[in-house]
Structure 1
Amino acid sequence: MAKIIVTAGPVPGHVVPLAAIAADLTKRGHEVLFYTGAQFEAQISATGARFVPHPAEVDVTVGALDAALAEREKLAPLERIVFDIKHLAADQAPIHDKRLQELLAEFPATVVISEPMSFWALPTALRAPRGRRPLLVNIGIAPPAFSSADTAPFGPGLLPPTTDEERASYDDMRVQMGAFFADPQQYVEGVFTSMGVTLPAPLFDAMATVPDHLLQLTVPAFEYPRGDAPEGFRFIGPLPAATDSEFELPDWWAELSDDRPVVVVTQGTVENGDFSQLLVPTLRALADADVTVVAATARPDGPDMVRAALDDQVPANVRLAGFVPFEQLLPLADVLVTNAGYGGVQTALRHGVPLVVGGETEDKPEVAARVEWSGIGVNLHTARPGTAAVRAAVDDVLNDPRYRKRASEIRSQCAEYRPFDAIADIVEQATAGGEHSRLGLRREGDEL
């Protein structure tokens, strides 16, 4: 039996996939300690893992950083990334690192599983060579951000270069982006120095090269090929999610099996405070369409918020929902309209559902660009599309069979991967003291 520490930033998109990994490892008989925000105690405890909360002074989920988060809301998208790096990750890293070392002293884990924004896990790997410390496994819950000559700089959501002119343009852009991120890079380096370690590369690269493994939760068909990917980078496919057997089907659920196409729209679990961004425009755009629209608001008061935004004039073809399990909903869907959250898009890939996406914050432009590049949907290139743009995109996806065909192809590729088995294999090899063969995580013929 292995001892494993799992740690994740205290937001649903970071915690949920790692909680699923923790649940699988405990079912296999391993002992798991999960370190994250206090708000997630019940969710983590349900996995069978031992829950340890973040110290209150750095726990976003108990309001410790509310003032900082309020300031963040005033910033432009790229400025938010800088803010997040400096003040929602680096500033707290020494406290989290200290707590992680305390946990390792009392719970001698052979493996630490983290995700890219958990900066506090990196010093553990930097303080000692492999074999004299826990193995560090990073789970790719967002598009890989490490630099590559085969892609555009990470952030704006640009497609890979196809001409020499584009490559030259991206090279220039890399220089400009390097200058833009020079301040947060220097800031993070100073924080790491205060922890007694040296950051060996630019931050986005270090998040991929410092861990022993970076396991990406997608398939090659949804990710740009790279000839210069880090050695530890591997695709393991999207995580399957458990079906919620306690979900009570609403009265309208049977309608989803009718002949009419089903369009699901959501703004995810974070950007759902203002439904005028994407959800409401979609409902208005499809009000007279011969489709059934399911508005998945991901919050208990969501349906009431939507009714208020529509002045109680909810279109007749719309079905409002609070929390609804996508594992049960997406098999009935023909299109998913979403703000390009990575986890939701991967769920659509597993179910072969084509997409219409629009997002501007965090990694969402990069996710949306990959939807476009992979041929699985339409990129709206904005988080606040007009109704005409949404209607045209949904009509395009419903009427052009190429999207459904490509979605089916990617679904088939997803089915070839066993992500839980791949992670468990690493854990068990590390615990047995053997050197894991990284090629074992990769299907023959995969391209990076």
Structure 2
Amino acid sequence: MSSVLVCVQPARGHVGPTKPIVAALLAAGHEVAVITGARYRQAFAELGAEVTVLPPEADFDETDLDGSIPGRAGLRGLKLGRFELANFVRAMPAQLSVVDQHLARGVDIVLCDPLFMAGMALVLREHRPRVLALGFLPFTAPTLFQPPPDGLADRARNALLGRFVPWMLGPAQELATRQVRELLGTETSVLFMDWPMHSDGVLQMTCPRFEYPRSTELPAPLHFIGPTTVSQASEHPLPPWWDELDGSRPVVYVTQGTVANDDLGRLVEPTIAALADEDVLVVVTTCGGSLRTGPLPSNVRVADFLPYDELLPRCAVMVSNGGYGGVNHALRYGVPLVAVGASEDKREVVARVAWSGVGVGHARRSASPRTLRRAVRTVLADPRYRDRAEEMAAEIATGPTMDEVLKLITSS
């Protein structure tokens, strides 16, 4: 049996896909310790893992980011993006101090969130345990990888990205380089977003067809293990209107994810307005957010949370803000998508939705009812989107089982 240390940021979209792996490791008899934020201490403790909470300077509350992260309030757009990248890197020393306490007791394997920046320092050490990155974010290494250009527009986009990316990542990269120097006494040219490529492997939680092809061999092994998140009725009870999802009319599910729901006017409310007169059943999860609309159209049903593993097999389309986990959960069940998002990693996810042919993607923070109506109609009317999503589902179904994932983790 192995001693496994799991390092995960305190965010639902990171914790959700990590918990099933932790549970499977424990069930197989491995010793598992987890480092995460205070908000998720109980979630892992209930599984039977030893849990260490991050120190305050490295912890945050995803339901109150402005209140729990000093200096964040008031920032918008690119300034907010640059700040958040640097803030992830800033936590490296505090995270590493907790990691080292566990390593001193003996650890065989570290499973690390790609945004848990102690991972960068860890993989650059000469002597370290086996380190695997948890791939619940779009696979972008080397930063930022794009599909081969197809025409002048793509070449112009790549040229623009070539200038934009160094500017966007600059402050965080300077901080990462300095902290590695101070913590390890060494210089590095490794990009902070690319540290998983210096690990012993990446457990990417999707299927190969949802990631761009690469013509060159990657420095670290890339293992496509499919989505791991589990969301069942035992966790989220079914609402009284559940029997209406009987297939008598297409179900369009809309969500802004579990974090970006402070303003449901970005996607949820425009989708409700867009589909008010359509012959579909619109199912909405607010995930803690609040609708500002007046009386809802007669074809709309609302819940705070719903069990994805029960809901998605009944859906004709999922309208998503581009969360990687939610999108891949939909693909597990062959559900085509309308994806609208531009914050965090969502622009990358939206691009993959369009590129892979599983849906319509708009890389923007919000969309109008007219745009959303057209997109949903397009996906419902064109069987190629459903066919492509079902191809993804078949590929996910033939991917590694959880037992095989455990062998990937514990085999040196």
Q: Output the TM-score relative to the length of structure 1.
A: 0.86
Flag the 1:98–1:242 CA change in 2: closer, same or farther, 3 A: same
Q: Which amino acid aligns with 2:90?
A: D
- Name the aligned partner's letter for residue 424 of structure 1: L
Aligned match of 2:54: 54
2-side partners of 1:340 and 1:425: how far apart? 31
Matched-pair contact (CA < 8 Å) for 2:281–2:299? yes
d(CA) in 2 for partners of 1:64 and 1:268? 15
Corresponding residue number in structure 2 for 1:3: 3
In 2: Cα distance, 1:76 partner to 1:254 partner: 42
Asked if 1:252 corresponds to 2:247, the answer is no
Label 1:73 to 1:328 Cα distance change in 2 as closer, same or farther (>3 A).
Answer: farther
Aligned pair count? Answer: 410
**One-letter amino acid matched to 1:113:** L
State how far apart, in whole Å, the 1-side matches of 2:311 and 2:335 are: 11
Alignment of 1:214-293 (within 5 A): 214-228=202-216, 229-239=218-228, 241=230, 243-245=232-234, 247-293=236-282
Match for 1:400 among 382, 391, 400? 382
One-letter amino acid of the structure 2 residue matched with residue 58 of structure 1: A
CA distance, structure 2, for counterparts of residue 421 and residue 137 of structure 1: 16
User: Taking structure 1 as reference, are residues 165 and 274 closer, same or farther at Cα in structure 2, changes over 3 Å only?
Assistant: closer
AA of the residue aligned to 2:181: T
Residue 409 of structure 2: aligned partner = 427
- The gaps in structure 1 that reach 5 residues or longer are 153-158, 431-448
CA RMSD of aligned residues (A): 2.3
Structure 2: which 5+ residue stretches go unaligned? Answer: none
Give percent identity, aligned residues only.
36
The answer to whether structure 1 residue 97 and structure 2 residue 85 are counterparts is no
Q: Which moved more, 1:184-193 or 1:317-326?
A: 184-193
**Which residue pairs with 2:33 in the alignment?**
33
C-alpha distance 412-142 of structure 1, shift in aligned 2 (>3 A): same
For 2:314, give the aligned amino acid.
L
Q: Name the TM-score, length of structure 2 as normaliser.
A: 0.93
After superposition, give the CA deviation of every residue in 1:383-424 in whole Å (9 maximum; x if it has no partner). 211101111111111111111111111110110112533431
Offset at residue 242 of structure 1 (A): 5.2
| 1:6-29 Cα deviation digits (max 9, x unpaired) | 011111111221122111111111
Task: Select the residue among 396, 400, 405 that pairs with 1:418.
Answer: 400
Over residues 183-202 of structure 1, what are the superposed CA-to-partner deviations in whole Å (9 max), with x where a residue is unaligned? 32112111111212443422
In the other structure, the counterpart of 1:297 is 286
More displaced stretch, 232-241 vs 3-12:
232-241
Q: 2:352 aligns with which of 370, 373, 393?
A: 370
Is the Cα contact below 8 Å between 1:135 and 1:212 reproduced in 2? Answer: yes
Amino acid at match of 1:213: G
The residue number in structure 1 matching 2:138 is 143
Q: Which amino acid aligns with 2:15?
A: V
- Say whether residues 1:328 and 2:310 are aligned partners: yes
In structure 2, relative to structure 1, the CA distance for the partners of 1:325 and 1:198 (3 Å cut) is farther
1:181 counterpart SS class: helix
Label 1:259 to 1:377 Cα distance change in 2 as closer, same or farther (>3 A): same
Matches within 5 A, 1:103-182: 103-106=102-105, 108-128=106-126, 132-147=127-142, 151-152=145-146, 160-163=148-151, 166-167=154-155, 170-171=158-159, 173-182=161-170
1:427, distance to aligned residue in structure 2 (A): 3.1
User: Is contact 2:253–2:318 with CA below 8 Å preserved after alignment?
Assistant: yes
